[in-house]
Structure 1
Amino acid sequence: MSRTVFTGGTVYDGTTSLPAVGDVVVEDGRVVEVGTDLDGDEAVDCTGAYVSPGFFDCHVHVTMERPNVLQTIATPFSLQFYLAAANLKKTLDVGITTVRDAGGADQGVKEAVSRGLIPGPRMQIAIIMLSQTGGHGDDWEICGAPAPFFVPHPGRPSGVVDGPLEVRRRVRELIRAGADVIKVATTGGVLSPRDDPRHPHFRDDEIAEMVAEATAAGLHVMAHAQGAGGIKAALRNGVRSIEHGIFLDDEAIDMMLQRGAWLVPTLHAPRAVLAAADEGMPLPQAVVDKARSVSDAHRDSVRRAHEAGVRIAMGTDCGVGLHGTNLDELELMTGTGMSPLEALHATTGSAAELLDVAQDRGTLAPGRRADLVVVDGDPGDVTGLAGRVRAVYLDGVRVGGREA
């Protein structure tokens, strides 16, 4: 097979090591060498740019974009799958080569990407978020009718469950349907108008049942968790990642450190809600008020978690906001005190560890999959990243970016 050398630029290897001038050689879809003065049969000129492992977004919803109840009611059921195809392409074009879909995408969407029927990043899927009755994923409206963002269908069961026995069965159904991760809402949220992000949802026995069933199948559990009580309940029972983490307290941060859990901040999400409201989207006032109220606490929680040494992986909740804006999250992370290098690591090597694919991708080292992104400018600058993505590669083949 021919050897392709990415040369003339800087190499960021996906770790916390400082970027350095160098070359990356790819052969047969894998990285075979990283160093200086390397050669190949073909060359990709990276002058004025840096080569990085492909980026990860550990929290997206590709079957929706800026949802609201009126839009949900007026949207044909099958349109979500065509939207997913468009959203996956937008995501790939900004250098995101791996995503974890946190609810919405089913096995068919994932299979369409893996078979090459549609372009997109590699996917892990949660299928649906588990929610208690009246919780963040219960789409019952005060008129007495449900208006779900994710209508149940054969590949995506309802996520509303109560009690350990119901939980056990639903987790098994999700595993049967192809889930790569189990997602649970252990608190209320912002987009659900009739619950409070600070209130804990599900009791310990229910969360423990989810984790036990997932563990038996070799899977992890991710928790939508915003209030401290629900965060700690998730951590007590073995959840691997805390999504959002808006109201972390010192005890919760200590528990994350003790248990080696990750924080996926999604700083992008409440800002996306406010941007949509400012543009005139018909969102309930309760949703807008909650998005405004959490922003400062959210930023402070991420800052304190980072200072304490909590592991962080990049996630955006894109779908709540616009797909293709994923890389805005890195600049938001630096606003909490993370350095640009730490933000890049959260988006590459750390994210790969969270998703259990670090032996396959997420860093530039011999044997790793050649999912690469070439970005104009310096890795010490994470502003305006989406517009600086020159080219995106999966298995060494260019699939996206400005020049695709």
Structure 2
Amino acid sequence: MGYGRAAAVGAGGFWPKTYLHCGRLLDVRSGKLLSQQTIVVEKDRIVAVQSGYTAAGGPQDKVVNLENRTVLPGLIDCHVHMLSHPGKGSSMNQFTMNPADYAYRAIGDAQLTLRAGFTTVRDMGGEGGVNISLRNAINRNQVEGPRIFTAGDAISATGGHMDEADGLSREQMAHYGQPANIANGPDQCRQAVREQFKRGADVIKIASTGGVLDLSKDGSGPQYSEEEIRAVVETARDLGMKVACHAHGAEGIKRAVRAGVVSIEHGTLMDDECRKLMKQKGTWYVPTIVAGKSVADSARIAGYFAPAVVSKALSIGPLIQANCGRAYKAGVKIAFGTDAGVYRHGVNALEFGYMKDAGMPAIETIRAATVYAADLLGETPNLGTLEAGKYADIVAFEGDPLQDISAMMRPRFVMKAGVTYRKE
């Protein structure tokens, strides 16, 4: 477990402070490594960042020695599935697992994610509202995990990527009926958004094309009209929510971007017209390279996926990395996201190396998981940089990730909202 909750209020009503002595502090905005800095934390916020090593000011204050570490803002993964867990035959889980089973398993994966340095995640859809309950339990300090912004149940067309009845027998299809996340036509799309808002979602996720891990025949064809997507976007906007869009094929991407979604997830088959349109509209791209590589590797294991999945995983999975490089060169805004849950939780930082190999400078991959990700979430006042007023989400690594990006796989200190969860 962690290292305790926020310190109790001291004598006279003053809160004790924590002074973090940082040997190297990365200013993600400028890209500069600042030496010998002190971050001052009070309750759940950063109250100052000072040059030199500042001594503790009061008897209840404490000092954390990070003088041999590189210190960064807490990392943000903009595409995870906290209730998903990879494994051979995992498509059968919907028939064998109860909501409580998902919840207990997710607690462990949430802890792994947090200890890996990811203090915030955007959960892109799960089962039965359990992801919303997990978010709430973490917010109440009942379990440990990253700060979660969740889509609740992702919205899909009939036969689309999030239609759990895809590929089943007619009897099983009848059993599923018309779930609240399945919507066709503008009116049903508006209702589906309102339903997720009512249930407590923070963000809306839709699928404008098919996917790799569903049982549909095609992962690239468009599945929503531009009119349907616009109905989702406008309704979500009225409710103060942003819309993320799962999309592989180019036509589904273009419809979603024109309709005003905030981000394209995966974007595997985007063409030059997609990239130009995304840059023009300011649409974010969340590549999820590690997931593409993972599913392609798993597809080569006999029986790991259903036959309908194997061909899609082998053809689509390997394309994401090169597409990320093309998008970066074209000036498309890129935020960090991994699709954790498709691969195992806790190794999210593998994405940094894959992004760098795609042609992104190391500092840009880190910005994608900090300041850029905070912008995508609409959380710039709270997250993404080490500045006074921000949440005290602070991580420290062994080594210099600007020189060796694999250092992002070696977190040695993790603090979220002023509470230490890892210290080595």
Q: Tell me which interval the TM-score lies in, with the shorter structure as reference length.
A: over 0.9
- Following the alignment from structure 1 to structure 2, what is the Cα–Cα distance between the partners of residues 292 and 134? 22
Amino acid in the other structure paired with 2:396:
V
Structure 1 length as normaliser, TM-score?
Answer: 0.93
Instruction: Indicate whether 1:113 and 2:138 are aligned.
Output: yes
Return the offset for 1:194. 1.8
1:341 corresponds in structure 2 to 363
Report the equivalent of 1:385. 408
CA contact (8 A) 2:70 2:400 kept: yes
Following TM superposition, by how much is the alpha carbon of 1:145 offset from its aligned partner in structure 2, in angstroms? 4.8
CA distance in 1, matches of 2:177, 2:118: 28
Q: Is the 8 A contact 1:46 1:374 kept in 2?
A: yes
Deviation at 1:197, TM superposition (A): 2.3
Tell me the residue number matched to 2:16. Answer: 2
Letter in 1 for 2:77: D
2:68 corresponds, among 15, 26, 48, to 48
Inter-partner Cα distance in structure 2 for 1:267 and 1:319: 13
Cα deviation per residue 1:86-120 (whole Å; 9 max; x = unaligned)?
11111001010001110014422211110011001
| Map of 1:259 onto structure 2 | 281
Secondary structure class of the residue paired with 2:405? coil
- Point out the structure with max Rg over C-alpha: 2
Q: 2-side partners of 1:152 and 1:182: how far apart? A: 22
Q: Tell me what 2:98 maps to.
A: 76
Q: Which runs of 5+ in 1 are unaligned?
A: none
Residue 62 of structure 1: CA displacement?
A: 0.7
Match status 1:134 vs 2:159: yes
Unmatched tracts of structure 2, length 5 or more? 1-14, 57-61
Partner of 2:49: 34
Offset at residue 16 of structure 1 (A): 4.5
Compute the displacement of 1:279 (Å): 5.4
Shift in alpha-carbon separation, 1:133–1:7, aligned structure 2, 3 A: same
Deviations 1:274-310 (A, max 9, x none): 3434555531133122122124432222111101221
Equivalent in the alignment of 2:343: 321
Change (3 A) 1:246 1:345: same
Q: Which amino acid aligns with 1:39?
A: T
2:147 aligned partner: 122
Question: How many correspondences in the alignment?
Answer: 396
Contact residue 136 and residue 195 of structure 1 kept, 8 A? no
| Structure 1 vs Structure 2 CA RMSD | 2.1
TM superposition shift of 1:74: 2.5
Percent of pairs identical after alignment? 37
- The one-letter code matched in structure 1 to 2:25 is V
Give, in whole Å, the separation in 1 of the partners of 2:411 and 2:267.
29
Amino acid at match of 1:12: L
Instruction: Report the AA paired with residue 211 of structure 2.
Output: G
Secondary structure of 2:190 counterpart: helix
Structure 2 counterpart of 1:198: 220
Displacement after TM superposition at 1:121 (Å): 0.7
Q: Identify the residue that residue 12 of structure 1 maps to in structure 2.
A: 26
Runs of 4+ in structure 1 deviating by more than 6 angstroms, as ranges, are: none
Is the partner of 1:48 in helix, strand or coil? Answer: strand
Q: Distance in 2 between matches of 1:251 and 1:237?
A: 15
Q: Which residue type is aligned with residue 270 of structure 1? A: G
**Counterpart in the other structure of 1:172:** 194
Alpha carbons of 1:348 and 1:303: their partners in 2 closer, same or farther (altered >3 Å)?
same
- How far the C-alpha of 1:31 sits from its partner, in A, is 1.7
TM norm structure 2: 0.88
- Aligned-pair CA distance for 1:399: 1.6
2:138 pairs with 1:98? no
